[in-house]
Chains A and B, each alone.
Chain A
Amino acid sequence: MAAATPILELRGLNVAFGGLKAVDGLDMHIEEKEIVSLIGPNGAGKTTVLNLITGVATPDSGDILLGGESVLGLAPHKINQKGIARTFQSLRLFLNMTVKENVMAAQYGHTRATIVEQMLQLPRARREEREINAFAEEKLGFFGERLMGYRWNQPAYSLSYANRRRLEIARATATRPRLLLLDEPAAGMNPVETHEIAELIGKLRDEGGYTILLIEHDMHVVETISDRVVALDHGVKIAEGTFEQVATDPRVVEAYLGTKAAATK
């Protein structure tokens, strides 16, 4: 597991929104092919960390290194093209586009045909179109029969909630990332689907070869799949290690249940 340079490294990351320190001196690293879970109570700054990594928000200080190279200050689409893709906690699909279009649109950064080539349907535009079409079908095939066949041409809004979550993951993987950031992929799912998502995340790493940073509230999911767990509270890293180490850490218990609970139980 010990690669020379970690795929992602956060160094002393700070960001404040007005008087609120959302992320406070966060150091963190993710190794190649690792599944790291980021946990913490509501408002701990987990999603803010994701926003900082993907360039949606800019840190006040600190550095973000992707494979040893700083991505600080790059536009979100540039960061995505460098190999970081994300899903959103509150689903953000292109609702009125078809399932397949959603996945094809995400490959914009991997096609080069200019608008003139598209207007005249020159060879490069047609070839790229065939390629991303096949690639989209392959990525949708990752979810078994769920997003296959007749669903390709249905608008994304007609999908069930669980399928929308799957489509968001498919869309993220279609940008051909090395690092996948999943923001609460099991939120709102029933136990069967939650279990399925946990298996899927493992499969994404083993078969897809992605490194995964996961934000998750469902501790069963975190327990099953995480190689390492990082706990945040008020933007500060309070614990790091295996699930057992973090789950029994008194500071984590305190963050979730309060001081009194930590003292008495």
Chain B
Amino acid sequence: MSEDAPTPGEESGSTSPQIGIDEWVKRSGERIAGPGGVFGGAVRVAGRTPRILLLAVFIGFACVLPLLTSNGYVIGVDADTLLYVLLAIGLNVAVGWAGLLDLGYIVYYGFGAYLYAELSSAHYNLHWPTWQSVPVVVAFTVLLGFVLALPSRRLRGDYLAIVTLFFLQMFNNFTTNGYTLDWFGAPTESGLTGGPTGINNVDPFRVFGHALTNSPTDYVWAAAAGITVVAILFTFVNRSRTGRAWRALREDPLAAEAMGIPVKWLMLLAVAVGAGVAGYAGAVNGAYYQGVFPDTFMFPLLITIYAMVILGGAGSLGGVIFGAVTVNVLLEVLRTPAHARWIFYAALLIGLLAKLRPWRVLAAVLGGLVAFGVAANQIAGAISAKAVAGPIAVGPTAYTKHGFFATLVRHWMILPGGTYTNADYKPGNYAFVATIALVLALTLVKGWKRWALLVPTLWLAAFAWETDLVNQAPTVRPLFLGVILIVLMVMRPAGLFGQSRVEVV
């Protein structure tokens, strides 16, 4: 009765009219969905479809892909992507559900891979069959999860992150220098872990007497089977008492403990369950590449998996699967300059379409951008023909032949002659630094000045891209990942499919 009356004091956090508290409550659904637009629409469509159907479509597509194409590279990307999906699902338990910033997650992946390699290879001459080695690997990885989480069970947030990061560094040291350890009668020349060169000639999986030597197709299926099982089991856990307790632990550990929830045990459980998934993924990795190498299990991989989980939305199972697929496919596409160019300009255009309002500003900026580029091209061409004579990069090496899109870019961009022929990347490097300076300047001006400054900034970014970055996949990939995450954190902090969380109302 009283709360429907417009009483002051109630709803102290909200500044909206107090008459409709029920209306305010009713609108909570909209607020959860967050901003509309492209993302909001995708989230709503995904939300209406039954989860099991989405999973079936995804797994079905991933499994059929190797049959549709004979391109080994595509199938390899398929298998890698599914491995990433497995890892992201595992990381989501600790990070998304229990809210623990676990930076040691890669240890479990690496441990699973190494343990499988020790058990099923010529290293110890054990050659355990898959039905024995994989369960042992998973069980021991879960156990390792408990052991490593035990000393940090009281820690939260940054402190937990630092301690778990220490475990990751320790694991890297251990695997890289493990050739000095001759434990369990390991061969003296390679030791326990094989050192920097890792363990080679690891057995492929053998299922019902049939060896999965048809790599990578067979491992697409091995990973897909793992994802199906794990996704279904985890969905049930998430709906049950443990899932609820994990969320309570994430929301407020002190209140959770006061409500009879053993938070330290649940923290160990979250880490260990996620570790089990990583252990299986590690075994698949070892069998797929028929070898394990210390360089695989290092910090960059951790960042990539975190990027996947954050992009998709920590806490949402479907979201992290989507994030893993998006990030890995994107990173693969960025390897080829001709494809990377499409992504670069598409991302630029989508960003402008999403952010520039009203449409007059959008039209002015886009029109200005085209005019600016064409004018720059004409002026530079008039001064020196060499300034626009440069070839455009379309592949691992630069060609003068190019497609329609590249032709358009040629007439819009200044392409110094020496860029690819003489490997003169100086203009591109200067432009890159200048772009960063301009972006910083953008944050200092307001109103029409900002729109006006946006035009040269974007053009300069494109210049840096065309004359330098497009051909440097190893540099561009992390850069791109960083840009995506920054943009996402500004526009949708909860990730694409994550539920926006309220800290204090």
Interface centre among B254, B257, B501 (most CB of A within 10 A): B257
Interface residues of A in 108-134 (CB under 8 A from B): 108-111, 113, 115, 118-121, 125, 128-129, 132
B50 CB–A CB distance under 8 Å: no
Residues of A within 8 A of B505 (CB): 95, 157
Known: A94-B247, A105-B248, A163-B3. A175 touches B240 (CB 8 A): no
User: CB distance A97 to B247 under 8 Å?
Assistant: yes
**What's the least CB distance linking A190 to chain B, in Å?**
5
A188 CB–B CB distance under 8 Å: yes
Known: A95-B251, A108-B259, A155-B28. A190 touches B9 (CB 8 A): yes
**Interface residue range, chain A:** 35 or more
B258 CB–A CB distance under 8 Å: yes
The docked-state distance in angstroms from the alpha carbon of A196 to that of B3 is: 12
User: CB distance B259 to A80 under 8 Å?
Assistant: yes
A88 CB–B CB distance under 8 Å: yes
Interface string of B257-287 (1 = CB under 8 A from A): 1111111000001000100000000000000
A213 CB–B CB distance under 8 Å: no
Residues of A within 8 A of B32 (CB): 155
**What's the least CB distance linking A109 to chain B, in Å?**
3
B132 CB–A CB distance under 8 Å: no
A193 CB–B CB distance under 8 Å: yes
User: CB distance A125 to B258 under 8 Å?
Assistant: no
B302 CB–A CB distance under 8 Å: no
A89 CB–B CB distance under 8 Å: no
A24 CB–B CB distance under 8 Å: no
A96 CB–B CB distance under 8 Å: yes
Residues of A within 8 A of B499 (CB): 96
Known: A106-B259, A118-B237. A160 touches B245 (CB 8 A): no
A224 CB–B CB distance under 8 Å: no
Residues of A within 8 A of B8 (CB): 190
User: CB distance B252 to A92 under 8 Å?
Assistant: yes
Known: A56-B258, A77-B262. A111 touches B241 (CB 8 A): yes
B207 CB–A CB distance under 8 Å: no
B12 CB–A CB distance under 8 Å: yes
Known: A109-B260, A162-B3, A175-B259. A104 touches B10 (CB 8 A): no
User: CB distance B255 to A92 under 8 Å?
Assistant: yes
Residues of B within 8 A of A154 (CB): 25, 28
Residue of B at shortest CB range from A196?
Answer: B2
Residue in A109, A115, A128, A162 whose CB lies within 8 Å of B261: A109
The docked-state distance in angstroms from the alpha carbon of A4 to that of B184 is: 64
User: CB distance A155 to B255 under 8 Å?
Assistant: no
B24 CB–A CB distance under 8 Å: yes
User: CB distance B247 to A105 under 8 Å?
Assistant: yes
A171 CB–B CB distance under 8 Å: yes
Interface size, chain B (Cβ < 8 Å): 46
Known: A106-B260, A108-B244, A108-B261. A56 touches B236 (CB 8 A): no
B377 CB–A CB distance under 8 Å: no
B200 CB–A CB distance under 8 Å: no
Residue of A at shortest CB range from B21?
Answer: A160
Residue of B at shortest CB range from A112?
Answer: B241
The docked-state distance in angstroms from the alpha carbon of A188 to that of B9 is: 7
**What's the least CB distance linking B265 to chain A, in Å?**
9
User: CB distance B236 to A118 under 8 Å?
Assistant: yes
User: CB distance A94 to B245 under 8 Å?
Assistant: no
User: CB distance A101 to B247 under 8 Å?
Assistant: yes
Residue in A92, A97, A151 whose CB lies within 8 Å of B254: A92
Residue in B1, B242, B252, B255 whose CB lies within 8 Å of A118: B242
Residue in B9, B261, B504 whose CB lies within 8 Å of A105: B261
Residues of A within 8 A of B242 (CB): 115, 118
**What's the least CB distance linking B242 to chain A, in Å?**
5
Residues of A within 8 A of B67 (CB): none
Interface centre among A80, A93, A125, A158 (most CB of B within 10 A): A158
User: CB distance B2 to A119 under 8 Å?
Assistant: no
Interface string of A148-190 (1 = CB under 8 A from B): 0001001101111111000000011011000000000000111
User: CB distance A190 to B252 under 8 Å?
Assistant: no
User: CB distance B240 to A113 under 8 Å?
Assistant: yes
Residues of A within 8 A of B24 (CB): 158
Instruction: Give the secondary structure class of B's interface.
Output: helix
Residues of A within 8 A of B254 (CB): 56, 92
Interface centre among B247, B251, B501 (most CB of A within 10 A): B251
Interface residues of B in 1-25 (CB under 8 A from A): 1-3, 7-12, 21, 24-25
**What's the least CB distance linking B241 to chain A, in Å?**
5
User: CB distance A97 to B248 under 8 Å?
Assistant: yes
The docked-state distance in angstroms from the alpha carbon of A158 to that of B32 is: 10
A47 CB–B CB distance under 8 Å: no
Known: A77-B262, A118-B237. A190 touches B10 (CB 8 A): yes
Residues of A within 8 A of B55 (CB): none
A75 CB–B CB distance under 8 Å: yes
Residues of A within 8 A of B247 (CB): 94, 96-97, 101, 105
User: CB distance A115 to B260 under 8 Å?
Assistant: no
Residues of B within 8 A of A95 (CB): 251-252, 501-505
The docked-state distance in angstroms from the alpha carbon of A243 to that of B262 is: 38
User: CB distance B255 to A104 under 8 Å?
Assistant: no
Residues of B within 8 A of A129 (CB): 240-241
Residue of A at shortest CB range from B503?
Answer: A95
Known: A113-B241, A115-B269. A188 touches B12 (CB 8 A): yes
B162 CB–A CB distance under 8 Å: no
User: CB distance A115 to B255 under 8 Å?
Assistant: no
Residue of B at shortest CB range from A195?
Answer: B2
Residue of A at shortest CB range from B315?
Answer: A96
The docked-state distance in angstroms from the alpha carbon of A175 to that of B28 is: 28
Known: A120-B236, A128-B241, A162-B2. A75 touches B257 (CB 8 A): yes
User: CB distance A94 to B255 under 8 Å?
Assistant: yes
Residues of B within 8 A of A189 (CB): 9
Known: A105-B248, A157-B505, A158-B24. A75 touches B260 (CB 8 A): no
Residues of B within 8 A of A252 (CB): none
A226 CB–B CB distance under 8 Å: no
A214 CB–B CB distance under 8 Å: no
User: CB distance A155 to B502 under 8 Å?
Assistant: yes
Known: A80-B258, A160-B21. A96 touches B502 (CB 8 A): yes
Interchain residue pairs with CB less than 8 A apart (5):
A85-B258, A92-B258, A95-B251, A95-B505, A155-B32
Contacts A95-B252, A158-B28, A160-B10 given; 10 further ones with Cβ under 8 A?
Answer: A80-B257, A92-B255, A94-B256, A97-B244, A106-B261, A108-B262, A111-B241, A154-B28, A155-B502, A190-B9
Closest 7 CB pairs of A and B: A109-B260, A118-B240, A158-B28, A92-B255, A80-B260, A94-B251, A119-B233
